[in-house]
């Protein structure tokens, strides 16, 4: 079973939207699990401080290495082989391949940072892999962690109704997904392409591939250079 452990200052944010729809149904059926660990419980002093001023000066606060390490050590067994992620804007960009690899594994441990970031020493000492969901800044790692988990959970066998649904999505074949249509046949003067109503599955498959190539070239020319 895919097991997620989230280290956060806001455990009430989980499972959040992942407790609904397909992910929520899968959670209730035991296809995956979601546990949280409150970083504040390992805080220092009477006020359970989890951060301090940055060494060398500068704005903001930095999450302490000793606090984060204590939280990780308390939440995990010594032999826990799950990847340990730190949600970070300087991390490796999340990809479909990464999500599929993790979905096929035992689960994830995700540290959600706040403030200016975390003490660099804990990243090395606890073997954390920094992962980003885009070139922008969020208030904390929780929303990014939810995105990572959603990308993984939907790929777990039994979560989606049809395995073929995942196989035909954007990025799965190196291309963005082809356009979709459904009833009514005509809407506001716009009609469904006739080829999709032809019943000729070979021609439909070819059309869909051509559309996927066209959209990829227009919107993401960095993808699938061999398909151009």
Cα–Cα distances in angstroms (integers) from residue 160 to residues 54, 70, 105, 207, in the given order? 45, 37, 17, 25
Is the pTM value of this prediction over 0.85?
yes
Please list the residue range(s) of the chain that carry CATH number 1.10.1270.20.
168-227
* Per-residue pLDDT tens digits for 62-119: 999 999 999 999 999 999 999 999 999 999 999 999 999 999 999 999 999 999 999 9
Cα dihedral 41→44→46→48 (10° resolution): -40
CB 82 within 8 A of CB 109: yes
Which of these CATH numbers, 3.30.310.50, 3.40.1280.10, 3.40.30.10, 3.40.50.300, describes 2-153?
3.40.1280.10
Q: pLDDT tens-digit profile of 143-190?
A: 999 999 999 999 999 999 765 455 556 566 789 999 999 999 999 999
How confident is the model over 103-116, as pLDDT tens digits?
999 999 999 999 99
| CATH H-level, domain 168-227: superfamily | tRNA(m1g37)methyltransferase, domain 2 (1.10.1270.20)
């Amino acid at each position: 079973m895919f097991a997620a452990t989230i280290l956060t200052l806001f455990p009430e944010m989980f499972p959040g939207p992942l407790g609904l729809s397909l992910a929520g149904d899968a959670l209730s059926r035991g296809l995956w699990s979601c546990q949280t660990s409150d970083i504040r419980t390992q805080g220092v002093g009477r006020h359970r401080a989890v951060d301090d001023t940055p060494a060398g000066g500068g704005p903001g606060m930095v999450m302490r290495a000793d606090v984060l390490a204590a939280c990780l050590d308390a939440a995990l067994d010594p032999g826990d082989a799950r990847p340990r992620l730190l949600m970070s804007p300087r991390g490796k960009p999340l990809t479909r391949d990464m999500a599929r690899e993790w979905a096929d594994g035992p689960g994830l441990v995700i540290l959600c940072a706040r403030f200016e970031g975390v003490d660099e020493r804990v990243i090395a000492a606890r073997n954390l892999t920094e992962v980003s969901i885009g070139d922008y800044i969020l208030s904390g790692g929780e929303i990014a962690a939810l995105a990572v988990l959603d990308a993984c959970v939907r790929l777990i066998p039994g979560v989606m109704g049809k395995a073929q649904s995942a196989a035909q999505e954007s990025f799965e074949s190196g291309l963005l997904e082809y356009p979709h249509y459904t009833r009514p046949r005509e809407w506001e003067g716009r009609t469904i392409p006739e080829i999709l109503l032809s019943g000729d599955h070979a021609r439909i498959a070819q059309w869909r591939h051509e559309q996927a190539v066209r959209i990829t070239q227009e919107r993401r020319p960095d993808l699938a250079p061999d398909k151009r």
